[in-house]
Chains A and B, each alone.
Chain A
Amino acid sequence: QGQLVESGGGVVQPGRSLRLSCAASGFMFSNYGMHWVRQAPGKGLEWVAFIWYDGSNKLYTESVKGRFTISRDNSKNTVYLQMNTLRAEDTAVYYCARDDSSGYFGSWGQGTRVTVSP
């Protein structure tokens, strides 16, 4: 099934940057697309970004386009989310998730919390 472990969350001021990491193990990471999904406090799930298995294509939800960048290093079995110009509304738990069969999330990490506050 595999394991995903996120890191890099924390408290950051509006307008600043943060980079999240997600380390994968237990499966052939380079064969899978990867997603980031977030959940604001007390709210539902929101898909954020997706990267193809080889990094050749990337997709983003509209609210983060131009501010967030998803990337991956298959030699390190790690996917990243670079978050720039952070806003209060980006406050959430961020999960990485494995893309199984083109679109559903078969395996999830435990999440890393990001708080954007003055």
Chain B
Amino acid sequence: DIQMTQSPSTLSASVGDRVTITCRASQSISRRLAWYQQKPGQAPKLLIYKASTLESGVPSRFSGSGSGTEFTLTISSLQPDDFASYYCQQYNTYSMYTFGQGTKLEIK
């Protein structure tokens, strides 16, 4: 099975900061990676798919990059609405879809 490891688990930042979250796969997944945002008590929301394609309606301050085993999600200038948890997910193998353990983005 492919394991997904996110870092950091918790990130403290301020409004206006640029932040980066990293996701590593235990083996190559090409660019078959998605990122989700989840706020407390809500369902996850798709932000990015195919490693770098922004979902319709998602602000352009969100961006994704990477391929193979290492990926990043970057928020260029944090807004108050961005404080949430973020998950990566690989979909390279059809028999198993794996999420990272999540990154909680907190207000400093």
Interface positions of A (Cβ within 8 A of B): 35, 37, 44-47, 50, 59, 61, 95, 100-111
Contacts and interface: CB of A to CB of B under 8 A. Distances in A.
Contact of B99 (A45, A50, A103, A106): A45
B94 A103 contact: yes
DSSP majority for the A interface? strand
Given A35-B97, A111-B43, A104 B49 contact: yes
DSSP majority for the B interface? loop
A89 B42 CA distance: 21
B43 A108 contact: yes
B42 to A, nearest CB: 8
B39 to A, nearest CB: 12
B91 A102 contact: yes
Contacts, number: 58
B43 A45 contact: no
A105 B89 contact: yes
Contact of B46 (A47, A50, A61, A105): A105
B16 interface: no
B95 interface: yes
A35 B89 CA distance: 14
Nearest to B6: A44
A108 to B, nearest CB: 4
Interface string B80-95: 0000000101011011
Contacts of A46: 99
B21 interface: no
B87 A106 contact: no
Contact of B36 (A61, A102, A105, A111): A105
